[in-house]
Amino acid sequence: MSDDMSADRSQLKQLMQKRDALEQEISVVAGRLTGPGGGGISEPLVDSEGFPRTDIDVMSTRRDRSTLAMLHSDHKELTKEIEQGMLALHAKVKPTAGCKDTGDVPPGNLSARQPSQCLDDSPTHLAEDEGSQYQVFAEIDELAEGSPAAVDGIQLGDKFVKFGDVQGGSGGEMQRVAQVLQRNENLDVKVVVIRAGKTKALTVRPRRWNGRGLLGCHLKAAAA
């Protein structure tokens, strides 16, 4: 391995660690806003008569919302920088056995792609989950056009093996996915799906829209 490739990988690792720290900070700020006494992510700060709400600290809510917006902006820029770095590094790595240029991995083995040999060029690379064996636990059987899920790249028939910190085979997946959605409104959630026999890593952001739910799709539990 050349020194410049080692340096590139080291820089990517630092960027991803920085992004992880940002995500933790986003979770803390969002938790304050959505927790007891919080003003919410996007709820009005005035009552029905136009006066500042007295049930919350309006100034603190405004400050947290401003902080959250800046953190999301930083996260977006950092993710873009990581994607560019991964693509540049991927171009330097020659394909080897068990590693294809497509950035796809056989669905039965997410660890087939070794970080020392190649990187997935999808927004969220699968090397972070190396060594884990995932099982399909849900499938998209309904997807509304223009919904957050559709906009973020989810397709009808996608089979989920990972949704945030919920992994297939861990038990109680459907209930835990609902909990992930509730606590991550307007926050990025990393997911891994199987589509047409290929494993894909995506990022979705549960959010309010003019339809039902925070994603606008229906997850059907996989047959046992």
pLDDT confidence of residue 136: 93
- Strand runs labelled E in 29-163: 138-143, 159-163
Confidence of residue 141 (pLDDT cuts 50, 70, 90): very high
Confidence of residue 122 (pLDDT cuts 50, 70, 90): very low
Domain boundaries, the chain: 1-92, 100-224
Tokens 């410049």, residue located: 4
Q: Which amino acid, 139?
A: E
Q: What is the pLDDT of residues 14-71, one digit of tens each?
A: 888 888 888 788 878 888 888 888 888 888 999 999 999 999 999 999 999 999 889 8
- Is the separation of the CB atoms in 161 and 219 below 8 Å? no
- Is the separation of the CB atoms in 77 and 22 below 8 Å? no
Tokens 């020392």, residue located: 116
Q: How large a percentage of the chain has pLDDT more than 70?
A: 79
CATH architecture type of domain 100-224: Roll (2.30)
Tokens 């835990």, residue located: 176
Q: What is the pLDDT of residues 63-109, one digit of tens each?
A: 999 998 898 888 888 878 887 887 777 677 655 444 444 344 444 33
Q: What angle do CA 215, 221, 224 make, to 5 degrees?
A: 160
Does this model's pTM top 0.85?
Answer: no
